[in-house]
Amino acid sequence: MAGPARWKLLSALWTLYLVWGSTYFAIKISVRTLPAFLSAGTRFLLAGALLALILALTGRSIRVSRRELISSAALGISLLGLGVGVVTLAETRIDSSTAAMIAGTVPLQVIALRTLARERVALATRLSVFVGLAGLALIVLPGGGGSASAVGLALALGASISWSLGSFFGLRLPLPRDGFVATTWEMLGAGAFLVVLGLAAGELGTVDPAGFSLESIGAWLYLAVVGSLIGFTAYAWLLRNAPISKVVTHQYVNPLVAILLGAALLDEQLTIATGAGAALIVGSVFVAVRNEGARPLPRRSTSPSAAAFPARPLAARADAPSETDCPRRCA
């Protein structure tokens, strides 16, 4: 790979690793003084509005058909509204590293869905699902998560299931051809959903701007601008320009980043059970990525948020550059 192309690829990859790996830490900081659903909803509304503005300034229209709008909003609610919004609520009760480890099982859950749908899945990949789920059991079963709240663990698990279902069924939805346009409407749909959910949950009555800490406000801004806008931009660039075998490495690197940040900056302690569970989850996702990453499939999603845990996960897109194409196309 040529020098400039390699530099761009590594920069985008490390941006993805650090940005998405740090979102669990930032969520934990934000919910110290901000309401969970309203903070997550306004985060996505701001990110969606900024992305729409960028598209407008670059001469790209965000106009879509009614079917595409409904599909994008529905996918956004599944992935971001329930997938991220409920994780935000969960982190009021559990450690950020625990939330990250549970979210790290999403690729394995999607593989399980593919198996149930009678898609062809390699034996080693299917076995990795059982290993990863064993790791998940070590984390969520009584005593495994240390002093973690059972409600918090259930919320995080439910959020991961919602993301898995959205990822799996996302390919079947009529989404805008432009991935950035799709992501814009997904963020706006998820943001509106979470704001309504927060109002219905009575969060507005608990809002006290005088009690908002600078750390929580800074974390909220980081999540909106860096986590959502810059993170998805880096991922979308990688989908277009990098070998899929490189792109999917974020699926096992991000939980490791989250665990390290939680331990170093939040003094989160890993028990023997959660440490073993994390090792099993990360190891099984690594095996799944290695096994599935080189299997090209014709179907693909135009949505970077859906592709964050691809519905035919870890599989190459039809238009993704191969290892040999990258020197030519990654410039």
Question: Would the CA dihedral through 147, 275, 160, 141 be positive or negative?
Answer: negative
In one-letter notation, the amino acid at residue 38 is L
pLDDT in the model for residue 325: 34
Q: How far apart are CA 124 and CA 292, in angstroms?
A: 10
| Terminal C-alpha separation, the chain | 9
pLDDT in the model for residue 191: 98
In the chain, the number of structural domains is 1
pLDDT in the model for residue 172: 86
pLDDT in the model for residue 303: 63
Question: CB of 5 within 8 A of CB of 331?
Answer: yes
pLDDT in the model for residue 39: 98
Question: CB of 255 within 8 A of CB of 102?
Answer: no
Range of the domain at 71: 3-329
In the chain, which residues have pLDDT < 70? 1-4, 143-147, 293-331
pLDDT in the model for residue 218: 98
Q: How far apart are CA 111 and CA 125, in angstroms?
A: 8
